[in-house]
C-alpha cells in the first residue's frame, strides 16, 4: 500500500491540503506548466485548485493511482505535484507524471520526487513505470534520464493539443530491475556546452535557429544533397529546431550550429547521427552558408565533431556519404582524416525520380591526425 508521506532525496511527498490552494493555482497557471500539460484548465484558478485538492487528487487514489504534493521538507511549502495514473494492474504498470512550481525550478525537485515515488512504486509491486513527455520539453526529458528512465520511442498523437488537434509524446520507461541512478546516454552533453578549436565553435541547435536552418537548407546546392532532394517547408524547419533537444537526449542525433569562434556569427550547421548504436557507428554531415565556404571551416568542423564522437561518445567508426560529383565535400572529409571506401550505386533518391550514387567515406580512431 502506498503511504501518505514519502521522504527522500531532499523532498517530501505528502497529500495535498486546503492551504496548498493558492500555491497550486499559482503554479498551475504558469505559462510553462500550461504549455506542457494541456489537460489543465485554462485559466487555472483557485477554484480549480480547491477542486483538485478535495476531489481530483482523492479520485486518483480511489482508482489505484496516487497524487502527492511535493513539499520542502523544512518549510513544508508546496514545490510541485507528482503522481501515478493509468494503472494497469494485470501488467503491474503505471504512468508517472509531475509539475514543478516556478519558484522551485532548477533545484532538482522533479528528479528527486520522481526517484522517491518510483522507488516506492516498485517496492509495492509495480514492475514497469512509464513517463511521457512532450517532444519539445527537454527539461522534463532530462528529469526522466536523471531518474533512471530510458527512451523507448514515440507515442504518435497520444495527447490532445490545447486549442485543438493532437500531438506526439516521447515514452521513457523504467523497470523495477533497472539499476539505480541515471539512465545511460548514447550522446552526452558537450563539455562546457560547446566544442571549439579557437577558430570554429559548435553549439547545440535550438528553436531560435529556424531562420538559419531555413535559409541554408533551401539553397539549391544544399537541397540537391537532401534526402529526398526537396526544399523543406518553414513549418518543418521550425519543428526540427524545436525538437533538436529531444533527438539529442534520446540518442538519435546531435544537431549543431557552426560558428565563427571570433565573432559568434553562424556559418552553417552539422550533425552527428547515431544511426548504428549496436555496432558503435555514426554518420557525420555538414553544410555551410556560401559566404563561409572555402575558408577551411568545414574541415575544422568535421575534425571537432569526430574527435568528440570518438573521445566522449565512444564511437568505433564514423562514416559519411557524399554525392558523387561533389569533390569539394570529398576534399573536406579527406583533410579531416576520412578514407574513401567505395561507391554505393543508386543509394539515394535524386531529382526527377532518378537515383544518385554516393561515395562512402570512413574514419576510425587511429585515422585521426595529430
Tens digit of each residue's pLDDT (9 = 90 or more) over 57-75: 999 999 999 999 999 999 9
Q: Are residues 294 and 333 in the same domain?
A: yes
Residue 369: pLDDT band by 50, 70, 90 thresholds? Answer: low
Q: Is it the case that residue 224 has pLDDT exceeding 90? A: no
Helix (H, G, I), strand (E, B) or coil at 71: strand
Q: Are residues 310 and 211 in the same domain?
A: yes
Radius of gyration of the chain (CA): 24
Q: Are residues 353 and 207 in the same domain?
A: yes
Does residue 314 belong to any structural domain of this protein?
yes
Does residue 183 belong to any structural domain of this protein?
no
Q: Are residues 107 and 46 in the same domain?
A: yes
Peptide bond just before 43 cis, omega within 30 deg: yes
CA distance 68 to 113: 9
Q: Is it the case that residue 370 has pLDDT exceeding 80? A: no
Does residue 95 belong to any structural domain of this protein?
yes
CA distance 273 to 263: 27
Quick one: cell of 131?
513517463
Does residue 228 belong to any structural domain of this protein?
yes
Q: Are residues 232 and 336 in the same domain?
A: yes
Q: Are residues 138 and 21 in the same domain?
A: yes
Q: Are residues 100 and 208 in the same domain?
A: no
pLDDT digits (tens, 9 = 90+) for 300-356: 999 999 999 999 999 999 999 998 888 999 999 999 999 999 999 988 887 778 888
Beta carbons within 8 Å of 367's beta carbon, 6+ residues apart: 337, 338, 339
Average pLDDT, the chain: 95
Q: Is it the case that residue 93 has pLDDT exceeding 90? A: yes
Residue 1: pLDDT band by 50, 70, 90 thresholds? Answer: low
Q: Are residues 151 and 230 in the same domain?
A: no
Q: Could you tell me if 219 and 112 are in contact, meaning their C-beta atoms sit under 8 angstroms apart? A: no
What does DSSP say about strands 317-323 and 281-288: parallel, antiparallel, or unpaired? Answer: parallel
Helix 234-242 vs helix 210-217: crossing angle, to nearest 10: 130
What's this model's pTM, rounded to 2 decimal places? 0.93
What pLDDT does 20 receive? Answer: 98
Q: Could you tell me if 343 and 359 are in contact, meaning their C-beta atoms sit under 8 angstroms apart? A: yes
Does residue 198 belong to any structural domain of this protein?
yes
Beta carbons within 8 Å of 206's beta carbon, 6+ residues apart: 241, 244, 245
Q: Are residues 320 and 351 in the same domain?
A: yes
Q: Where is the domain boundary, 119, 145, 175?
A: 175
Domain count, the chain: 2
The dihedral sign for the CA sequence 210, 212, 215, 216 = negative
Helix (H, G, I), strand (E, B) or coil at 70: strand
Domain range enclosing 134 = 6-175
Amino acid at each position: 500500500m502506498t503511504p501518505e508521506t514519502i521522504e527522500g532525496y531532499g523532498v517530501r511527498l505528502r497529500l495535498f491540503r486546503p492551504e496548498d490552494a493558492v500555491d497550486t493555482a499559482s503554479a498551475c497557471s504558469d505559462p510553462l506548466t500550461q504549455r506542457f500539460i494541456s489537460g489543465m484548465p485554462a485559466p487555472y484558478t483557485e477554484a480549480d485548485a480547491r477542486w483538485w485538492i478535495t476531489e481530483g487528487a482523492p479520485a486518483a487514489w480511489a482508482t489505484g493511482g496516487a497524487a502527492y504534493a511535493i513539499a520542502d521538507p523544512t518549510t513544508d511549502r508546496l514545490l510541485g505535484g507528482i503522481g501515478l495514473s493509468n494503472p494497469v494492474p494485470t501488467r503491474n504498470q503505471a504512468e508517472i507524471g509531475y509539475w514543478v512550481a516556478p519558484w522551485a525550478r532548477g533545484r532538482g525537485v522533479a528528479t528527486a520526487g520522481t526517484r522517491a515515488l518510483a522507488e516506492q512504486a516498485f517496492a509495492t509491486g509495480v514492475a514497469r513505470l512509464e513517463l511521457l513527455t512532450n517532444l519539445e520539453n527537454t527539461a522534463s526529458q532530462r528529469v526522466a534520464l536523471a531518474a533512471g528512465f530510458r527512451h523507448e520511442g514515440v507515442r504518435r498523437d497520444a495527447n490532445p493539443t490545447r486549442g485543438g488537434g493532437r500531438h506526439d509524446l516521447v515514452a521513457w520507461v523504467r523497470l523495477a530491475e533497472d539499476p539505480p541512478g541515471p539512465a545511460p546516454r548514447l550522446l552526452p552533453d558537450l563539455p562546457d556546452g560547446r566544442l571549439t578549436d579557437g577558430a570554429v565553435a559548435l553549439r547545440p541547435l535550438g528553436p531560435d535557429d529556424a531562420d538559419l536552418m531555413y535559409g541554408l537548407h533551401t539553397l539549391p546546392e544544399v537541397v540537391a544533397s537532401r534526402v529526398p532532394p526537396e526544399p523543406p517547408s518553414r513549418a518543418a524547419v521550425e519543428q526540427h529546431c524545436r525538437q533538436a533537444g529531444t533527438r539529442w537526449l534520446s540518442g538519435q542525433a546531435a544537431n549543431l550550429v557552426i560558428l565563427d569562434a571570433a565573432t559568434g556569427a553562424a556559418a552553417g550547421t552539422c550533425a552527428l547521427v547515431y544511426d548504428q548504436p549496436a555496432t558503435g557507428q555514426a554518420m557525420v554531415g555538414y553544410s555551410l552558408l556560401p559566404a563561409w565556404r572555402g575558408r577551411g571551416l568545414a574541415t575544422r568542423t568535421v575534425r571537432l565533431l569526430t574527435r568528440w564522437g570518438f573521445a566522449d561518445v565512444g564511437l568505433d567508426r564514423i562514416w559519411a556519404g557524399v554525392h558523387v560529383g561533389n569533390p569539394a565535400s570529398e576534399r573536406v572529409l579527406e583533410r579531416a582524416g576520412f578514407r574513401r571506401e567505395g561507391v554505393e550505386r543508386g543509394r539515394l533518391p535524386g531529382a526527377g525520380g532518378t537515383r544518385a550514387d554516393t561515395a562512402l567515406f570512413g574514419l576510425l580512431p587511429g585515422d585521426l591526425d595529430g
